[in-house]
Chains A and B, each alone.
Chain A
Amino acid sequence: MQDVIRHIAAEYNYSLYVILMMIGLWAMIAKNNLVKKIAGMSIFQTAIILFYISIGYKKGATIPIVEHVFQGADHAVRAVEYMNPLPHVLMLTAIVVSVSTLGVALALVIKVYQAYGTLEEDELRERMRDGTVQK
């Protein structure tokens, strides 16, 4: 048990990313308001993106833009001195998809508010059960 705690303290960043993910997940489950749930979803998504970016990090390496070797090969490109570009590519897609999802989710929230007049989940359930739909 003690070396588990020592290992977690040495590699603190993974635990902090997991804590951030769990904050987002808890907001999606336990919060009553719809906009807070959407904020929790977005926190969850950006925490996962941060975790992937940390996979592509190499100590002592530079950003993945190579120097010009196209016009004359004076030295070959060594992969160990550049960061891993593959997680960056995947996470570019993920960020733009997350903003698209956020736009559609907020459009749905506006429609729910126009129909029922509230954004709290328990009040929504009561009004849906009573069958009052204002347009």
Chain B
Amino acid sequence: MIWPFDLIILTLVILCALAAITVRDLLACAILFGAYSFLMCLLMALMGAVDVAFTEASVGAGVSTVFFVAAVFRCTRRTRD
């Protein structure tokens, strides 16, 4: 495992997670959550867990983001905090 990649992607993951719960727009939260899932898939592939990375890519960055966007579409997009 190449440790500079590991450190950089972990930092990006933490920044994505912080941004996803801080933005005031729920659609932006859903899209940032998709980016977070994809970076998490990269981390798992870096650690040699290829099956888990495959599942996380298809489930997290694919279907889970679509569920979030569909739910935000049915409710409201604005949030106060």
Contact = CB atoms under 8 A, between A and B. Distances in A.
Interface of A: 12-13, 16, 19-20, 23-24, 27, 31-33, 35-36, 39-40, 42-43, 46, 49-50, 53-54, 56-57, 59, 61-64, 83, 87-88, 91-92, 95-96, 99, 102-103, 106, 109-110, 113, 118-120
B76 A31 contact: no
B10 A96 contact: no
Contact of A106 (B1, B29, B43, B67): B67
B33 to A, nearest CB: 6
B60 A95 contact: yes
B52 A33 contact: no
Contacts of B48: 56-57, 61-64, 83
A50 B46 CA distance: 11
26 contacts: A13-B6, A20-B13, A23-B14, A23-B18, A24-B17, A33-B26, A35-B68, A39-B20, A43-B33, A46-B36, A53-B47, A53-B49, A63-B50, A83-B48, A87-B49, A91-B49, A92-B51, A99-B63, A99-B67, A102-B64, A106-B67, A106-B70, A109-B75, A110-B75, A119-B76, A119-B79
A34 B31 CA distance: 17
- Interface of chain A, main secondary structure: helix
Contacts of A92: 51-52, 55
Interface of B: 1, 6-7, 10, 13-14, 17-18, 20-21, 26, 29, 33, 36-37, 40, 43-44, 47-52, 55-56, 59-60, 63-64, 67-68, 70-72, 74-76, 79-81
